[in-house]
Amino acid sequence: MKSGDFPAYTFATMTHEELLQRISIDPAVCGGKPCIRGHRIWVSLVVDLLASGMSVDEILAEYPQLEVEDIRACLAYASEMTRERTVQVG
């Protein structure tokens, strides 16, 4: 494998609910911000990285302790949040 190449990922079929189980909210961890379970990586950080144009492969290279499903879980959580409230834009 050449430098910069990434292995092919197999995507396990996980339900929305199974993905959300990868997210934890604990007042004693990161001030209660939603994090990827077992890590101190905020869901909002991962979503911000994706929104800024960073690829999944780039995020996994920067945070090797994460798995593809963790990133999918962050998106599932963000999706749920948009159902609960709106943010004024423009």
Region for 46 from its dihedrals, namely left if φ exceeds 0, alpha if ψ lies in -120 to 50, beta otherwise:
alpha
3-state secondary structure of 23: strand
Domains of the chain (ranges; CATH) run: 23-81 (1.10.10.10)
pTM here is 0.78
**pLDDT tens by residue, 15-68:** 888 888 999 999 999 999 999 999 999 999 999 999 999 999 999 999 999 999
- Where is pLDDT greater, at 13 or 9? 13
Helix axes 43-51, 68-84, angle to 10 degrees: 90
